[in-house]
Amino acid sequence: MKNIRPANKIRRISGLFLVLLVITGTLTETAFAASGKMVTQNWSAAAVFYSSQSDETETFRMSEDEFLKYKVGLEERLIVAYSTYYNRLVDKEKEALQESQEAWIDCYYSYITSLEQLWLAPVKIYFGVPGQERRTNVYRDIILLLLVNRVTDLEEWNEQRFARIEGFFFADISNELVSAKKQLQIDMGLCLYVIQEEYRAKISDSHQKFNTFLDSNQRFVSLITTGDETIITAEELLQVQRMSSITQIHYQGCRFFRREREE
């Protein structure tokens, strides 16, 4: 018997790396471009200008040594989680997990390669609400979130805990999954649109490798849950929502990077 928890109560995206320091006196007035320059959207001044007051994430405040220590710690935890879970599986289950893990590793290192060229320096991100802008490190955010999400999955699955939806919500959640996948493609497209051309091919490759991982992961989940559609759908929705959130962080960083140079 599987130990099932509701999908909305387990394995949510970790906020550990995105905890904000509240800074008083956030600026919310509209910013205007200097003569002959253009601001393409009405961001608040605190969002437009890097030096303006704003919240700072934990990844923004990390030293490089602290980040590397955290990253290596998560990678070591991932190895243990994967090995522990793999060793309790049998035959085709092992093969399917190995395949999905290899696809995840390809995706993970693709993001490292894509992001480390440009995103080692911190930027500011803004989601359209004055006061919600924050200085952060897009590279660190994404790499650590990828690790946290995969570690959490493997550890939860090892305890036979899966995301699931109640039967009477299945149709609604299935429709939500369709919408979420469309939104993810929009997020990825916007990200590619705003990033500099020389980085576009690598980011596009990272997006494709996530889709390859998603397909592989769903095959494993289907196998390990003997085709339980409620679990398969809930697990896929969780993966898609996570990647959409990660892509939004990247997209917002790209927008600020361009805007900073326009100003």
Residues contacting residue 250 through CB under 8 Å, at least 6 positions apart: 115, 119, 138, 142, 191, 203
Distance of alpha carbon 39 from alpha carbon 42, whole angstroms: 7
Average pLDDT in the 23-49 region? 46
Residue 16 has pLDDT above 60, yes or no: no
Residue 7 lies in a domain: no
- When pLDDT is averaged across residues 116-138 and rounded to a whole number, the result is 76
Q: How far is CA 169 from the centre of its chain?
A: 26
pLDDT for res 192: 87
Burial (CB count <10 Å: 0-12, 13-18, 19+), residue 172: exposed
With respect to residue 56, please indicate whether it lies within any of the assigned structural domains. Answer: no
Over range 218-224, report the average pLDDT.
95
Give the residue ranges of DSSP H helices in 121-167. Answer: 138-158
Asked, for residue 13, whether it belongs to a domain, the answer is: no
User: Does residue 88 fall inside a structural domain?
Assistant: yes
79 inside domain: yes
- Tell me which residue range forms the domain holding 105: 63-121+137-262
Percent of the chain whose predicted confidence (pLDDT) is above 90 = 43
**Quick one: CA dihedral 198, 136, 53, 27, positive or negative?**
positive
Number of domains comprising the chain: 1
Q: Residue 217, exposed/middle/buried by CB under 10 A (0-12, 13-18, 19+)?
A: buried
**Residue whose token pair is 């979130």:** 145
pTM of the predicted model over 0.85: no
Tokens 């992001």: give the residue. Answer: 115
Domain-located, residue 39:
no
Give whichever of 125-134, 166-175, 211-220 has the largest mean pLDDT: 211-220
List the one residue out of 56, 25, 34, 57 whose CA is nearest residue 259: 34
Mean pLDDT of the region 140-163: 93
pLDDT band of 20, cuts 50, 70, 90: very low
Task: Show the CA angle centred on residue 231, arms to residues 207 and 103, nearest 5°.
Answer: 30
Q: How high is the pLDDT of residue 175?
A: 85
Q: Show the tokens assigned to 34.
A: 């200097």
Residue 33 belongs to some domain of the structure: no
Domain assignment of residue 143, yes or no: yes
Structure tokens at 88: 């309790």
- Give the model confidence (pLDDT) of 49-77 as tens digits: 677 777 788 888 888 899 999 999 999 99
